[in-house]
Structures are given as structure tokens and as C-alpha cells.
Amino acid sequence: MSIYDFKVTTIEGKETTLEAYKGKVLLIVNTASACGLTPHYKGLQALYDTYKDQGLVVLGFPSNQFAGQEPGTEEEIKQFCELNYQVTFPLFSKIDVKGENAHPLFVHLVDRTPSPYHTGEIEWNFVKFLVDRDGNVIKQFSARTEPEAIEADIKGLL
């Protein structure tokens, strides 16, 4: 199964697939609004602003699996991100990213990350997956990796 085949739901509630992002470099992130790492939104938006015209798309997937740090509704999450971090990159509905109810996209991302860039199960909010233009998972970055630290890897794929 290709990464582009996975069904996802936008934060506005529309079911779709990742097909619209075929040919783009993707940075896929599990996010949360009430986490110590929530300021990563600022760096993610900066990367998106800088490189979107060259083919980068950041995709944010809120998850409430880690200490209940994403308790809001989709509308609340969207408003929070827009008001506090001016997020314009695509956001999706809240999902599980690990465990028996993990969304198949995140199971795929973890399973397909090559060594030595595979950090294992998603340990917290803001784990980042870099996907090339062909849909291949290139690297998995830990939750604590600042978005700015990924810039050289992104530029290398653009």
C-alpha cells in the first residue's frame, strides 16, 4: 500500500486520501495543543512558509494519546493553531498514533522508516516523519527534535 492510499479526515471533517500530496515532500507530525512541545508549531509553520513553493507540505495530525494534551474538538484545535501559531498547513482530525487503535498511516510510517533513522514507536507528541516525493519514508525524528533541525534534510529532498 502506498502512503497516498491511506484514508484520512481533514480537520473540517472531510474524508480524503493523501493522493493530493503525491509528488510533494511531506513532513508528517503528530501534534498536540497543550504540550511543552506545542511551540514546535511555530517552527513547522516557518518551514512550510519557506519551502511550500518548492514542494514541501507539512501535515499535522492531532492526537490525545499522550497525557491528554489534545483534549479539544477539531474546531477548537483548528482555532488554537490559527490564533496562536498562524498555522496554514493542512491539519487533520484527531487520531491515535500508536497502540491497537493506531491510524494505519502512522503504523505505515513507523514500519517503513529505514535504519538507522527509525526511532521505534511514537514516544510523544511532535514525532516527525520526512517522506520524499515518491512516498518513501526517509527519516523519523524524535518528538524533541526542533523543526529547524530538519531543514537541511528537507532541502536535500526538494
* Maximum C-alpha span of the chain: 38
Look at residue 117 in the predicted model and tell me its pLDDT: 75
Cell of 37: 512541545
Fill in the amino acid letter for 55. Answer: G
What is the per-residue pLDDT across 29-82, written as a single tens digit (0 to 9) for each?
Answer: 999 999 999 999 999 999 999 999 999 999 999 999 999 999 999 999 999 999
Domain count across the chain: 1
Q: Residue 56 is which amino acid?
A: L
pLDDT in tens, 85-114: 999 999 999 999 999 999 999 999 999 998
Residue 116 has pLDDT above 90, yes or no: no
Burial of 111 per CB tally in 10 Å (0-12, 13-18, 19+): exposed
Report yes or no: 80 and 91 within 8 Å, Cβ to Cβ: no
- Give the pLDDT of residue 110: 95
- pLDDT per residue as tens digits for the range 131-156: 999 999 999 999 999 999 999 999 99
Give the domain CATH number at 106. 3.40.30.10
State the pLDDT confidence band at 115, using cuts at 50, 70 and 90. confident
β-strand pairing of 56-62 with 128-131: unpaired
Which DSSP category does 91 fall into?
A: B
Q: Which residue has the higher pLDDT, 22 or 120?
A: 22
Residues with a catalytic annotation lie at: 35
User: Per-residue pLDDT for 118 more than 80?
Assistant: no
Distances (CA, A) of 71 to 19, 35, 77, 157: 29, 11, 9, 35
User: In this structure, what are the phi and psi dihedrals at residue 127, rounded to the nearest 5 degrees?
Assistant: -75, 140
Give the three-state DSSP class for 25. strand
Does position 120 have pLDDT exceeding 80, yes or no? no
User: By residue range, what is the domain housing residue 51?
Assistant: 3-157
Q: What is the mean pLDDT of the chain?
A: 95
Helix/strand/coil for 63: coil
pLDDT at residue number 83: 96
How would you classify the pairing of strands 128-131 and 25-31?
Answer: antiparallel
